[in-house]
Structure formats: structure tokens, C-alpha cells
Amino acid sequence: MISAIFILNGIGNVIISRVFREDVKYSVIEIFHTKIINVNPQDLKNPILTLGSTTFLYIKKGDIYYVAVTRNNSDASVILQYLNRLINMLKSLISVTTNHIVNDTELMDNFLLIYEILDLTIDQGFVRQIDESLIMSKIYSPITKSMDSDKKLNISSDLKIIKKDISLIEPLDTNILVEKYDKNVILLLLNEYLYVSDKKAKILGEVISVSTVPSGLTIDFQFNTPVTDYSSIELKSLNIAPIESLIKPSSKITNKFNLSSRISTSVQPILNYSAELLFDDLPIIILGSYKQIANNKFELQITLELRFSSDIFAKDIKVNIPIPKNVLKIIDVYDACAENIGRNEEISQSDEYLVWSLKSISGTKKLKLNKIIYTDSSTLKLSDWISTRRNVQVIFDIPKYSLTKYHINSFNVEKEFDNIATRLIQFHTLSHSTYEFYV
């Protein structure tokens, strides 16, 4: 019986961690770090380390440690066989060549996939003997193959530029937008909506003008879409509203679009675009699990991973976590390692969701939610509900942030408005109405 699985890099940093049973805590891996990683490799000849009632079984491949922890009198051969099976499965899925050894970067690029494999192959600590082809058919997460640096994604040479009437990507309250600003203000607003569903992640972006200038005017600006050979953002299409001119210089390093547009309404879309990205580039990730404990209760574990930098703040984050309609009670599970965010956090309950709300929070954090949820077993077969539950949905707004790094440095207006019009530029990265994860 396996109590926990950890995957560490060569210096002992935890890449993947999954605790299956309550007899160990996440901090147990610190013992392994002290007793194994800090020891001269020549002194390590046994893949099994037992300290008191806790046993560590590990396999090292390249610079990666694959570690299983158990506190029971388990069959070591079965656990080591499972670790080998896991290593071979990850290699077959991620590697592009047979002699390639998976490294820490490739594991981090595929962390959703790895958590899903762990949950499919281990049930409450018991190893499931499931055929690998069946496991492959049940995998939901995207797979990022290992690749050389010269094979990384960049802007497509087949970019489609279409001139047509366009509309707002997501509904906005135009009255509120206009009322926020004084008279004679012209604002260019670049919004990027992130769409995540199934195995797809994409960006739907737009540039909108907001004007409180009483008459129409013409603006000129440069929409810059910088890209390098190492970019993982791929611009797929660009739709432009009727404009007076468009000049797209041919450059392998950067795409700059010079635009001139007539602004005649208070809120007017100017252009929109779509781009593809890797899951690893998403600013907010949801991980977790629903684990049935009895016919009337299950444990809910949710991790909210904020992957943007610590000097950036997201606001109005809301995580909608599906729960059954017939919930009787919800009990908190204390986690000593969980970060305390105090009054910035609120948990509420509706008929079908547990809603986790945060007003404002900076990046580079992992926040955890752990609950035991009791249901009415007389009106619900819990196992059926868990297997057919909805995805976890995330809503957020990250001001002053563009995930693609697409930007507008400045813009010009007609001479007659040059001295009276206040010019502003804002950036937002927001969740699309579909930004959801299966946990």
C-alpha cells in the first residue's frame, strides 16, 4: 500500500507530490531529502530506506528521483515495479526518442498529465493493475512532448488577416465603461480572454476604444506582437474592423501592425485575434481530486496555483467547485502547510457549487482547499455523481498584464484633439466564460 508519491529533481525540489493516505504528511519528503539526496551517491546501494515505521522506496533516472512512501508492511517488489511502470509510461508519452531520459522541465510541462496518471493507477494507496492502453484512453490532460529548442512554437507564417465587422468577445457594460472617465478621454483597452476546455488552451484577444470625446476622431497606433524562436504563443488569426489603412511589415523577429481607425461610437471594437498556447503558460491552474470515503461522503482537495509573477495582482478570483445538490454538511480539513490568506478569502455555497472567492492576490502562490463533504445517500449514488460531475470553473481578472506580451506603446489623434484629449492605454488578462479544469 502506497501512502504517497513524490517526484524530485536532483537537488531535492519537489516537482510532483500526491498523498493518498492520511498516515503521512507532505512534509515527510524532508526526511528523504536529508537521508538520501544529501548523501554521497556512492554510499547509496539500496533503493529502500526504512526509518521507524516509515519506508521510502525510490528509483533514480537521470537527475530525477521517483519516490514512494509507505507506513504499512507492504510488498517492496510491487511498489518498485509500479515506480518502474510509471517511469516507462511517462517516457513513452513525453519522450520523442527511445533513449531520451525525461528531465524536470518536461515533467513540469506535463504535471496535469502526471497527476491524472497517479489518480488512475492508485486508489486510496492500492496499486491498480490496469492495462496501459486503457489508461491512455482515459487520459484527459494535454501532453507536451519533449522537443529541441529549434522546434519550439513561434508565430505562424500562415497568419490570416481578415478585414470585417467585429463585435466584443465578451459582453461589457458600456455605460459603466464610459462613466468611469471624464470628458475628452480616449482609452485603448487590450483584453485577452483565456479559454481552457478539454485539451485546448487558447487566447481570444481584442483591442477596444472607449471615448468620451463628443465628436468622432481618427486614431493611429501600432499593435506590436513580439515573438522569438522560444515563444510558445502562436498567433493564428487577426480580424480588423473597417479601417483607413493597415501596414504589416514583414519581419521574422516581430510583427508590427500599423493601424488607423475612425472612432465614431463611445465603445468600439477595433481588432480581435486568436492565439494558441501551452497549458504550462496559463497564469492560473487548478489541480485536485474528489475521493469517495464512504457511500455518503467524499474528500475534496483543490489547489489553486497562481503562476504569474509576484509583482502582479489578480482580482475578483472565483473558483466554482461542483458539489452535489443534497449536501448535508461540509467539514474543513486542517492543513498545516496551507498558506493563510485571512480576510482576503471567502467560501460560500450554492445548490450545485462550492464557491471559493479571493478579492485580490499576488502571483507565485499555491493555495489549498480541503473539505470533507457529507451527502444524503438515500437520494444520491455518490460514485455516479463523482464520475459524471462538471469541471471546476475559474473566473478572474489580472489588470496591467498581457499574457502574450502583445502591446500598444502609444497612439496619436488628429491635431485638433491633440491638446484636449487625454489618451490612456490599459491591459487586462481575463478568464473566458469557459476556463475550466477536470480534477
Query: How many residues belong to the chain?
Result: 439
Total structural domains within the chain:
3
Residue 276 and residue 295 in one domain: no
Over 80: is that where the pLDDT of 305 sits?
A: yes
Q: Which of 147, 167, 195 is the last residue of a domain?
A: 147
Q: What are phi and psi of 392, to 5 degrees?
A: -80, 130
Long-range contacts (CB closer than 8 Å, 24 or more residues apart) made by 327-331: 327/373, 327/374, 327/375, 328/296, 328/374, 328/375, 328/376, 329/373, 329/374, 330/354, 330/371, 330/372, 330/373, 330/374, 331/371, 331/372, 331/373, 331/374
Question: What is the domain-level CATH number for residue 161?
Answer: 2.60.40.1170
pLDDT digits (tens, 9 = 90+) for 242-255: 765 676 654 444 57
Over 90: is that where the pLDDT of 128 sits?
A: no
pLDDT digits (tens, 9 = 90+) for 145-189: 665 433 333 334 456 778 888 888 888 777 777 788 888 899 999
pLDDT digits (tens, 9 = 90+) for 365-413: 889 999 999 999 888 899 899 989 999 999 999 999 998 888 898 899 9
Count of C-beta atoms within a 10 Å radius of residue 82: 20
| Banded pLDDT at 330 (limits 50, 70, 90) | very high
Residue 135 and residue 220 in one domain: no
The pLDDT of 112-130, averaged and rounded, is 86
Question: What is the domain-level CATH number for residue 119?
Answer: 3.30.450.60
Retrieve residue 4's grid coordinates.
Answer: 504517497
The domain in which residue 204 lies consists of 151-280+401-437
Please give the Cα distance from 380 to 292 (Å, whole number).
13
Element (H, E) at 78: helix 76-94
Mean pLDDT is lowest, of 130-144, 265-279, 343-357, for 130-144
Residue 11 and residue 124 in one domain: yes
What pLDDT score was predicted for residue 155? 37
| Banded pLDDT at 224 (limits 50, 70, 90) | confident
Q: Which of 147, 165, 198 is the last residue of a domain?
A: 147
Residue 122 and residue 184 in one domain: no
Please give the Cα distance from 219 to 412 (Å, whole number).
6
| Banded pLDDT at 336 (limits 50, 70, 90) | low
Please give the Cα distance from 175 to 172 (Å, whole number).
9
Q: Which of 368, 383, 398 is the last residue of a domain?
A: 398
Over 60: is that where the pLDDT of 343 sits?
A: no
Over 80: is that where the pLDDT of 231 sits?
A: no
Q: Which residues pair with 160 in a beta bridge?
A: 237
What does the DSSP 8-state code read for residue 339? Answer: P
Q: Name residue, grid cell 502562490.
A: 365
Please give the Cα distance from 52 to 44 (Å, whole number).
19
Cβ-proximal residues to 249 (8 Å cutoff; 6+ apart), any chain: 255, 256
Percent of the residues in the chain that have a pLDDT greater than 70, as a whole number: 87
Residue 89 and residue 157 in one domain: no
